[in-house]
Structure 1
């Protein structure tokens, strides 16, 4: 298991609160795709404090972050903040992939296949 140097204990309470009130899309992705090592045996955690952010889902072993974005993330200031956030997480060595709520809720099998593709890519790159 890689070092967890990026964990921010100061955001732990906020992360716990977010974990308890996940969106419908986040809950579906967790229940049907990510929990219990359902993806090639990789362990994902939900609502994890990394650096100064709380990421939706993370596999520390692969340094893979999955974000699920609602409609408010599509335009304007929140979209710009998402870009800054993603750049910072990538600077820390993470791969960030994003899905919309609608994609998760209406195309969960395609989302699962996309995540599996990212896992394969990361495994093959030796990360």
Structure 2
């Protein structure tokens, strides 16, 4: 289960809390991202802190990722 998924853009958005910054959390996240990538999905990660304090920039990154996807011929 991912935090957010946009099927048309093949985009996964993950919000990472404190447990993601432990060695075990980093390893799990890297392996999970690799699996998602192998299915043709792009994974973008944001810290909870960034979402809380830099929401506009987070939205800009997501918008840019979706714009890039739309530019790719199908």
Q: TM-score, normalised by structure 1?
A: 0.56
Q: Look up the match of 1:89.
A: 36
Of structures 1 and 2, the one with the larger relative CO (CA 8 A, separation 6+) is 2
Runs of 4+ in structure 1 off by over 2 angstroms are none
Q: Look up the match of 1:119.
A: 66
C-alpha RMSD of matched pairs (Å): 1.0
Q: TM-score, normalised by structure 2?
A: 0.94
- Measured after TM superposition, the shift of residue 124 of structure 1 is 1.0
- Measured after TM superposition, the shift of residue 75 of structure 1 is 2.9
**Which segments of 5 or more consecutive residues in structure 2 lack a partner in the other structure?**
none
Q: Look up the match of 1:64.
A: 11
Q: Give 1:4-15 correspondences, 5 Å limit.
A: none
Q: How many residues align?
A: 74
Q: How far apart, in 1, do the equivalents of 2:59 and 2:44 lie? A: 12
Larger-gyration structure (1/2): 1
